[in-house]
Amino acid sequence: MWGFVLASVAFALVARYLLRAVFQGKRHLPPGPKPLPLVGNIFDLPAPTDAAWKVYAEWKQKYGDIFYFRVLSSDVVVVNSFEAAHELLENRSAIYSSRPWVPMAGDVIGWSWTLPLLTYNETFKRHRKYVQNYFAKPRVHLFYRFQRREVHRMLNDVLDSPKNYREHLGRMAGGIVMGIVFGHDARTQDDWLLQVASRGSKTISSVGPVGAHIVDLIPILRFVPDWFPGAGFKRLPPGTRKAMSDMRYVAYNYVKEKMAAGTATECYVTELLEMTQNEDEEGVRDTAANNYSAGFDTTLAHLIVTIMMLTVNPVMQARVQAELDTVIGKDRLPDFADVDNLPYLQCVILEAMRWGVVVPVGVPHAVIQDDVYNGMFIPKGTTIIPNAWAMLHDPEIYPDPETFNPDRFLAGEGRTPAPDPREPLFGFGRRQCPGKDFAQGTSFLTIASLFHVFKFSNALDAEGKPIPIDTAQNEFSVRYV
Ligand code: HEM
């Protein structure tokens, strides 16, 4: 049986290799490392433990802004410059807005229903519309009350137990989404619905980078039984599939029960069910679940990078606090209306987005028809990796890119601020993050409030000496005074 499967794989590869050679002919692919026959560049790929975005940024020096490699029969183009990414993923988004098939996340773990993984089809368009319209910029003020409530709770929690600030921020970020999406007040860390959502979300991050598994490269392996030698990727940690499925169904069913009992609070689920007249329960349920999974880790990571960089740069922290003191004073907490009066704080947040790109190789897109860019042929089905890290660490655009320097975004007489990092950061075109305006509201209020109330500095060791913060590793320990 396995001899037959392997022979079929080999046959399919040879056939595709020959067909490609015939049909692609002399079409000029983007430059890239020289592929081996059949297997392509499989041995050139960065190891899963390498920072792929940095490896690709190095390749950029050799091959240019966009380069091509092939893994078995899959074509991949990495886009390292903002201009190229904008042209392909934004201006040509009608054909560059699909997603590559990622069998590990989609089939093996079971995330194929989630919006970020949906290919460009009718289901995607419908689901995307729900989320995009709900979190659209003109509506973000509707979420302020949830953001305010949870940020203020978080401040109290940090005051009570500063060492657990990460957990408090996590609860806050999760609590905001739970309130908006399910009308649920997740007040504590161990809130049962927050736990369901958090366990479900972890099922994707716990198995490593999406798209980098052996089964993503050789999809036929997904049919190999769990017990087969080498099929370790199918032996998921116990409870993985149940946790994923609970995330999809439990909170949604809970809201439905409350609706039946007449006790539901208005939220994403109730509003969308009404808008769709209960005719697309699956769409409402699935998009509700992915709002948490797509928005939680990203928001939290960005907040932590910002706090870390203000902690290792006490002069910048003092400048943020001086601005907050002048604008807000001592008698109240910051609020959304203050944002335009806090230009330095805004620059700090932008610089944290640029410096600490939380989705460094973006989320891959896929092109649905053959295309040509600057004379280079990009075959239909190619996976497009937007290397946001390379775009935001390009020394031509952001001089001395490894230095955390909020001043690069300051406008003023005789100064041209550095380009806004938000397009690469939140992605491109029809797949651009639909939660970006909402996420920025959470980020602003959290950082403004935390630094208005607390001072952050290094934790101390047993002898009272500050413990150095390793920004390269994103590992750090912070205390509050
Ligand atoms: C700092 C916070 C965030 C960052 C940096 C971020 C970044 C991103 C990026 C890079 C993408 C992929 C874009 C592309 O494919 O071109 C994305 C997609 C997505 N984000 Fe966010 N995001 C954040 C917060 C949020 C929040 C709070 C929500 C929830 C409302 C959210 C919901 C989504 C969804 C549903 C998608 C998939 C969109 C699609 O595939 O069409 N994100 N995000």
Expressed in angstroms and rounded, the spacing between residue 359 Cα and the centre of ligand 1 is 9
pTM of the model: 0.91
| Residue 79 three-state SS | strand
User: In angstroms, what CA-CA distances link 33 with 56, 58, 64, 394?
Assistant: 11, 12, 12, 22
Residue positions in the annotated binding site for heme? Answer: 433
Task: State pLDDT tens for residues 179-219.
Answer: 999 999 999 999 999 999 999 988 877 666 666 666 676 77
Residue nearest to atom 37 of ligand 1 (CA): 116
For ligand 1, whether the C-beta of 221 sits within 6 Å is no
Q: How confident is the model at residue 272 (pLDDT cuts 50, 70, 90)?
A: very high
Query: In terms of CATH, what superfamily is 2-453?
Result: Cytochrome P450 (1.10.630.10)
For ligand 1, whether the C-beta of 356 sits within 6 Å is no
User: Can you tell me the ipTM of this complex?
Assistant: 0.99
Residue positions in the annotated binding site? Answer: 433
CB–CB of 334/454 below 8 Å?
Answer: no
Expressed in angstroms and rounded, the spacing between residue 38 Cα and the centre of ligand 1 is 35
Give the per-residue pLDDT at 1: 40
Residue nearest to atom 6 of ligand 1 (CA): 426
For ligand 1, whether the C-beta of 425 sits within 6 Å is yes
Question: What residues form DSSP beta bridges with 67?
Answer: 78
Task: State pLDDT tens for residues 2-18.
Answer: 444 444 444 555 555 55
For ligand 1, whether the C-beta of 363 sits within 6 Å is yes
The domain spans of the chain are 2-453
For ligand 1, whether the C-beta of 55 sits within 6 Å is no
Task: State pLDDT tens for residues 29-88.
Answer: 999 999 999 889 988 888 767 788 999 999 999 999 999 999 888 899 999 999 999 999
Measure the N-to-C terminal CA separation of the chain; round to a whole number of Å.
66
For ligand 1, whether the C-beta of 391 sits within 6 Å is no
CB burial class (10 A; 0-12, 13-18, 19+) of residue 288?
buried
DSSP string, 237-292: PTTHHHHHHHHHHHHHHHHHHHHHHT-PPP-HHHHHHHHTTTS-HHHHHHHHHHHH
Residues 92, 338: Cα–Cα separation, whole Å: 37
Check whether 479 has a pLDDT greater than 60: no
